[in-house]
Amino acid sequence: MTFESRRPCRKSGYQLESIDGELLLFHPAQARMMYCNETASLIWQLCDGTRTVDEIVTLLSEAFPEAETQIAEDVRATLEQFVAHGAIGFG
């Protein structure tokens, strides 16, 4: 199975909040936190276990055609950060 065909899924306990104008993904019980830009926030919201990485890339490419050449790389890098923070798994 390729990375692009995997289905990222948010792990329970993580919350995305806007605090003082900053988007933060955090897990209160584990004291884990990461800053998210708006693109990372969108990717987080799309990680519901029903979409593949390729489908997430396609949705964002359609929504932001001016950034299409960079989106696949940004999605991969963002998902890798989510994995490093323990915020997502793959179904």
Q: What is the CA radius of gyration of the chain?
A: 13
> What is the domain extent for residue 73?
10-85
Q: With respect to residue 90, please indicate whether it lies within any of the assigned structural domains.
A: no
- Tell whether 28 is covered by a domain: yes
- Kindly state the average pLDDT of the residues 51-65: 97
The answer to whether position 91 is within a domain reads no
d(CA 46, CA 74) in angstroms, rounded, equals 14
Number of domains present in the structure of the chain: 1
Q: Look up the CATH number of the domain holding residue 48.
A: 1.10.10
Whether 2 maps to a domain, the answer reads no
pLDDT digit string, tens, across residues 3-47: 999 999 999 999 999 988 889 999 989 888 899 998 999 999 999
- At 20 the pLDDT is 86
What global pTM score does this model have?
Answer: 0.90
